[in-house]
A and B are shown apart, each in its own frame.
Chain A
């Protein structure tokens, strides 16, 4: 069935380096995407979102890129810090479906090496 998935299950980066977390989605009808950060024992924390009429959106130290042609989403974290260590999920939804539901991938674990 259609789903959202991630290319890499784990990612280790040096503190201060930039991190890139990738996500592939297969539902071409998806028109809204969110990145979440989840620390151990906590609920997902909203990081940044992007709508399908955009291809880039920037937040504080984070940038989300959307490539609809290849159905690919990425999260870039600048100057990665130890506090960025967590599991990152991308989630997608589509308007007009009658309900607002998010479909999540399995997640990528980001480990920051001090």
Chain B
């Protein structure tokens, strides 16, 4: 079975631009969560989606948005990029039930210049 897949793997953008990151969860999983991991730190929760609805949002500005599609894949959008948005963006897949395993993709390395 395929694990969590994310695309692209690497991305370079200029300040002020917009970026869209994509994630496909493990087959059968209905929940996708997004995390930002700055170098040297643990991942920080951005969003959780379950059955196409936003279930949770972390402490991130409105420049960050996401959505989930009927096939449970998800996109994370970041507008008006700042240098500080440079990070590894991780997608986690789970069945959406509390206290169950969450599996991460390899991440998208975003560099803002």
Are B98 and A100 neighbours in the complex by a CB distance under 8 Å?
yes
Are B99 and A95 neighbours in the complex by a CB distance under 8 Å?
yes
0/1 per residue, A45-76, Cβ < 8 Å to B?
Answer: 11001010000000000000000000000000
Interface size bracket, A side: 20 to 34
What is the total of A-B residue contacts with beta carbons within 8 Å?
A: 74
0/1 per residue, A22-65, Cβ < 8 Å to B?
Answer: 00000000011010100001111110010100000000000000
A93 contacts across to B, CB distance below 8 A: 98-99
Are B98 and A32 neighbours in the complex by a CB distance under 8 Å?
yes
Are B96 and A100 neighbours in the complex by a CB distance under 8 Å?
yes
How far in angstroms is the closest Cβ of chain B from A23?
11
Contact A102/B98 with A42-B106, A44-B90 known, Cβ cut-off 8 Å: no
Contact A104/B101 with A42-B106, A98-B55, A99-B56 known, Cβ cut-off 8 Å: no
- Report, nearest first, the 8 A-B pairs whose CB atoms are least far apart: A99-B56, A104-B42, A95-B98, A32-B99, A43-B104, A99-B55, A101-B45, A44-B104
User: Could you give 11 example pairs across A and B, Cβ below 8 Å?
Assistant: A31-B99, A41-B109, A42-B106, A49-B101, A93-B98, A99-B48, A102-B43, A104-B44, A106-B40, A107-B41, A107-B42
- Other A-B contacts than A42-B106, A44-B104, A104-B44, 14 sampled, CB-CB below 8 A, are A31-B99, A34-B101, A43-B90, A43-B105, A43-B107, A44-B90, A98-B55, A99-B48, A100-B55, A100-B102, A101-B56, A104-B42, A105-B42, A107-B42
